[in-house]
Chain A
Amino acid sequence: MITDVNINLSRWPFRRLPHDETAKLVGKLERAGITQAWACSFDGLLHHDISALNQRLADDCNQLGKGILVPFGCINPTLTGWQKDLAQCKRKHQMPGIRLFPNYHDYKLDDRLFADLLAQAEQEEMIVQIALKMEDERTQHPRLRVPAVDMKPLPELLEKHPKIRIVILNGMKTLRGDLLAELVEAGNVYFDISMQESVGGIEKMLKLIPLERVLFGSHFPFFYLESSLLKLKESNLGRFREEAIRYKNAAGLLKT
């Protein structure tokens, strides 16, 4: 069993990907032994019709997901009426969480609207995923250079929202030192392995982050799915730690 907390459907804006058709993506997940995948949509990066994209996301997960795909709606708090999008994610689509792209949506984590969003997500008991980045800044389109999300304001905000569950996606090549330690201290902050690099990378991650906060995430189909799968093999984890990362931590996060 593997729960992949970091999947996106639809089209990456800058190129076609080998698995950007949902049926083909699900087939690949199945063959790779992924039993659950938390999916948002690449459309969320640039589209403004968020309710339509969340509807498509919910429909795709229902109709093509084979019980594997779990939709995580996209919310853009810079758009008027985002509260309604969030309520729809919860009530209409029964999504367990949302995914945010603050850098593509052009707000900072110390902006008031982010605090408001956290407050409402906490009230709705939704998991909040924040994609720290989507790709290496060095390979971005010259007219669409999007710096990584600055996570510095997050620890202080979380003091006011002790119950909220945060998952930082694609963060492990960027987060380090004091900031990473503060995020670990701050509350229920989880981290996926998708951008963890270096030999034996997960072993290194576990020196900085408690086991129960480390999640399997692949950033598939933007990355080859095998990258995160092979990381489980490269690190000497043992069965207990490997199972925690593969699915038990994610299952616990979903339940609370």
Chain B
Amino acid sequence: MKTATRKSIWDLHCHLSGVNGKTVDERIARLMEYADRMGVERLVFFMGWPWSVDPDPDDFRRQNDQVIQALSHWHDRAFGFAYLNPKYPRECLAELDRCIAHGPLVGIKLWVSKRCKDSELDAIVERTAELKGVIFQHTWYKAGGNLEGESTPADLVALAARHPDIPMICGHAGGDWELGIRTVRDQKNLYLGTGGFDPTAGFMEMAVREVGEDRIIYGSDIGGRSFASQLAKVDGAEISEKAKEKILGGNLKQLMLPILKQKGIRL
């Protein structure tokens, strides 16, 4: 396998799950053993446990504290995004200050509590961009219908179109990626996140063809997913080596560089 020999794989999408461990420190250490086996150099974590699809501010602050604790022994290797619930816009802005402006986190994760096309998101993404944070939004197109607050790629296009200078990542590429890719391809400030859906062949080839190798970012969605199934989407794709390097690390590194530098991360 080529994976092991690549210089730097960066994983956009990791959770503190899928391994045993009573504390976050135990869990992240276990996850790093698998990252080592697979040649994954740097990892971005978000959300703690127990999971909550609609956390109140106390809950998302608690989960962000778990992530901050987990990162504390892995300063240059593991990064974190703050988990926010945009139903609480004021508390979100305060959490941005606490975790990013005055804390170690370097971006935000938005999940399924509120659809991201809504105007409450504007102040959150603007403040995150001011802080040079990375914006990651979960998206799916589900055959059986989405959760009430679960965004589609089209919802994210609506938000991204209102803020054309702010880069944002379309998580899961919409899940049903043939639909997701065509939805986001013309919105140039949107990136595709590749993690958290089955390793269906042809995905990466279509993504590179329609969106381009500069706007695709590898992520796994461990521990629920494996590194293996998610790296396979890059490794197994009929795309150039140069494209693979960008998708596996180059693009994310470039996106995060300003804030990592600001935080004194060694690269």
Contact = CB atoms under 8 A, between A and B. Distances in A.
Interface of A: 15-19, 135-142, 145, 195-201, 220-231, 233-234, 236
Given A229-B1, A233-B4, 6 more contacts: A136-B175, A137-B143, A224-B199, A226-B232, A228-B228, A233-B37
Nearest 5 CB-CB pairs, A to B? Answer: A224-B236, A230-B228, A226-B232, A227-B232, A226-B236
B1 A16 contact: no
B142 A138 contact: yes
A207 to B, nearest CB: 11
Contact of A224 (B4, B175, B201, B225): B201
B232 A16 contact: no
A41 B189 CA distance: 41
A198 B142 contact: no
A234 B227 contact: yes
The secondary structure that dominates the A interface is: loop
Given A233-B1, A234-B227, A224 B144 contact: no
Contact of B229 (A15, A141, A227, A236): A227
A227 B199 CA distance: 7
A100 B117 CA distance: 44
B241 interface: no
Nearest to B145: A138
Contact of A139 (B175, B202, B232): B175
B140 A226 contact: no
B233 interface: yes
B256 interface: no
Q: Which of B19, B198, B202, B227 has the most A CB atoms < 10 Å from its CB?
A: B198
Contacts of B29: none
A201 B226 contact: yes
A145 B4 CA distance: 38
Contact of B34 (A136, A138, A145, A199): A199
Contacts of B198: 135-136, 139, 195, 223
A160 to B, nearest CB: 35
Interface in B161-187: 175-176, 178
A222 B198 CA distance: 10
A136 B140 CA distance: 13
B113 interface: no
B8 interface: no
Given A225-B236, A226-B231, A234 B226 contact: yes
A107 to B, nearest CB: 22
Given A200-B34, A231-B226, A138 B178 contact: no
Given A198-B18, A199-B226, A226 B34 contact: no
A234 B237 contact: no
Contacts of A195: 198
B214 interface: no
B123 to A, nearest CB: 32
Nearest to A221: B201
18 contacts: A17-B202, A139-B197, A140-B143, A145-B143, A197-B226, A197-B229, A198-B226, A199-B34, A199-B223, A222-B201, A223-B199, A223-B232, A226-B231, A227-B228, A227-B229, A230-B227, A230-B231, A231-B226
A16 B178 CA distance: 12
Given A145-B144, A221-B201, A199 B31 contact: yes
A196 to B, nearest CB: 8
B201 A223 contact: yes
A135 B200 contact: yes
B200 A142 contact: no
B205 interface: yes
Nearest to B174: A139
Interface string B202-224: 10010000000000000000111
Contacts of A139: 143, 175-176, 197-198, 200
B238 interface: yes
B144 A138 contact: yes
A196 B224 CA distance: 10
A222 B34 contact: no
Given A15-B178, A138-B142, A227-B228, A234 B38 contact: yes
